[in-house]
Amino acid sequence: MSSIGAGFRLVRAGWVLVREGVIAALPGDELFGLPKFGWRMARLFTRRRALAYERGDRLAKAVVRLGPSYVKLGQFLATRPDVVGNDIALDLAMLQDKMQTFPKAEAIAAIEASLGRKVGELYASFGEAVAAASIAQVHTAETLQDGVVRRVAVKVIRPGVRRRFFRDLESYFLAARLQEKYIPSSRRLRPVEVTETLAQTTKIEMDLRLEAAAFSELGENTKDDPGFRVPSVDWERTGRDVLTMEWVDGIKLNDIAGLTAAGHDLKAIAANLVQSFLRHTLRDGFFHADMHPGNLFVEADGTIVAVDLGIAGRLGRKERRFLAEILYGFITRDYQRVAEVHFEAGYVPRQHNVAAFAQAIRAIGEPIHGQPAETISMAKLLTLLFEVTDLFDMATRSELVLLQKTMVVVEGVARTLDPAFNMWKTSEPVVSGWIARNLGPRALLADARDGANALLALARQAPDLAARTERLSREIDLMAEHGLRFDERTARAIGKAEAHYTRSGRLALWVIALSLLYIAWKLL
């Protein structure tokens, strides 16, 4: 029954996208066969008034009709230009996560249920909502501690949002499985894995204790950084459904007129933003992954304050080293080293030729370096890089795509502040400094120390590994002698699971097909 429900919800979502002109706005001139027919049918069923809107506006209207979980889906897909393409990713990134506020009484009930205390005991005053998004809304409040009144922001989870999201998630998985089955070229992009990542990131985002922990970690990492910080968390007033943090008095980074009127140096803010992001990424391996201008404030002294840390990214030490070398290789035009790093990281399958890949990388880097420095776009570089990696069978790396998306957004924000912004010149001091500290003699000593620790840990596990190896050897000998066998219970379970999967998949496809026929018949 869940497959049937997922099928109906998928049909409804597709119908809304058709009626709002989203499908018709996609480039369909190069399609052929059944996809071309579907695109033409979508144009016939598009609302007439929708044809007057731009593609981004059509998308926004469709997502609003579909509800909060689709807003979150759209924002997540904006982080995956490798999946939806750069143009659509930019449209999705412009989705306004502004929803209707829910009643203050419901917010109070959620706070009291989460923290087990009355709102009057927690806050000296609790105001109305000042902003509402797909997952939560924010209220102003005041706390009284040691006789001092402090203004705070209180973020409260939207009632029922978890149930709604996980219900819609079933249809996302159904769409991903159908895509993998019927569009072989999409398998490289791992749509089911992408959907699993969406499920995991949204689960994290819906537990505000984890966002509070992210604020705490980023705050510790940046406590000595010049010109950047995050708000402090009030842990006493934070739980799964409520997050209380310091109120930020500042000007939003998208208010260019306000920043100018306040006398801020926009070029300095742009450089500080990009260098801060690279510092967090390379030095700490932990970065704010939703740095659009609505989440960034500038205080009176020019300090950038980042809020809304529901989406964060992590890179291991090895990935940071590869990232730094790839960026530095593009900066210094060492394309051979950029190619070698891709192979060392395992990003490109070994059957390909390093020199051929270096040639493809050169085809990306040289046209960009031939332009004036201030016109070099990270977005353009990444678009070309996605095209090249497709030719060389490079599988999607979710952590790198999130990083690349955030880098594009940060660059875009910097260019709104400084149209002549030079991404490479601004990045070079941070990247080259990190390389000098982490790829020199000191780094070799650190790698040797890590290697010694790993060997020591392996030595401690040697007795257990030996016992496992002996058991495995005996089992292999038995299989070689008697063959691989399942007991009767296991065989029945496998058969039952396979039959259920096949039956559910076929049933869902029939539901979708019959629903589309019914809709078309009603309209004729």
Condensed to tens digits (0 to 9), the pLDDT of residues 351-370 reads 888 898 889 888 877 876 66
State the DSSP string of 358-382. HHHHHHHHHHHHTS-GGG--HHHHH
Mark whether 312 and 190 lie in a shared domain: no
Q: Is residue 429 part of a domain?
A: yes
Euclidean distance between CA atoms 270 and 413, whole angstroms: 8
Mark whether 180 and 279 lie in a shared domain: no
Give me the half-sphere count of Cα atoms (radius 13 Å) on the Cβ side of residue 312. Answer: 23
Mark whether 198 and 52 lie in a shared domain: yes
Mark whether 447 and 467 lie in a shared domain: no
Q: Is residue 47 part of a domain?
A: yes
Euclidean distance between CA atoms 140 and 339, whole angstroms: 51
* Residues 431/331, Cβ–Cβ less than 8 Å: yes
Q: Is residue 79 part of a domain?
A: yes
Condensed to tens digits (0 to 9), the pLDDT of residues 158-196 reads 998 888 887 887 777 877 787 777 777 666 667 777 778
Asked whether the predicted pLDDT for residue 499 surpasses 60, the reply is no
Euclidean distance between CA atoms 330 and 428, whole angstroms: 11
Highest mean pLDDT pick, 78-87, 256-265, 422-431 = 256-265
Centre a 10 Å sphere on the Cβ of residue 151 and count the other Cβ atoms it contains.
15
H or E segment and range at residue 85: none
Mark whether 423 and 488 lie in a shared domain: no
Mark whether 281 and 405 lie in a shared domain: yes
Mark whether 185 and 266 lie in a shared domain: no
Euclidean distance between CA atoms 78 and 407, whole angstroms: 13
Centre a 10 Å sphere on the Cβ of residue 404 and count the other Cβ atoms it contains.
22
Q: Looking at residues 477-505, what average pLDDT do you find?
A: 58
Give me the half-sphere count of Cα atoms (radius 13 Å) on the Cβ side of residue 57. Answer: 6
Catalytic positions, please? 290
Asked whether the predicted pLDDT for residue 507 surpasses 70, the reply is no
Condensed to tens digits (0 to 9), the pLDDT of residues 21-48 reads 777 777 666 666 776 777 777 777 787 7
Condensed to tens digits (0 to 9), the pLDDT of residues 79-137 reads 666 566 666 666 666 665 567 889 999 999 999 999 999 999 999 999 999 988 878 99
Mark whether 296 and 385 lie in a shared domain: yes
Beta strands 228-229; 304-306: pairing state: parallel
Determine the pLDDT at residue 321: 83
* Residues 280/287, Cβ–Cβ less than 8 Å: yes
Q: Which two tokens stand for residue 24?
A: 């018709």
* Residues 129/105, Cβ–Cβ less than 8 Å: no
More confident position, 10 or 382 = 10
Mark whether 435 and 484 lie in a shared domain: no
Euclidean distance between CA atoms 325 and 439, whole angstroms: 9
Number of domains into which the chain is organized: 3
Domain interval for residue 6: 2-97+163-203
Q: Is residue 490 part of a domain?
A: yes
DSSP H helical ranges for 333-422: 335-344, 354-369, 378-391, 398-417
Tell me which DSSP letter residue 346 carries.
Answer: T
More confident position, 326 or 225 = 225
Which of 324, 319, 347, 232 is CA-nearest to residue 278? 324
Mark whether 402 and 475 lie in a shared domain: no
Environment class of 500 (CB within 10 Å of its CB; exposed 0-12, middle 13-18, buried 19+): exposed
Mark whether 394 and 414 lie in a shared domain: yes
Condensed to tens digits (0 to 9), the pLDDT of residues 451-471 reads 666 666 666 676 776 777 777
Determine the pLDDT at residue 494: 56
Mark whether 348 and 409 lie in a shared domain: yes
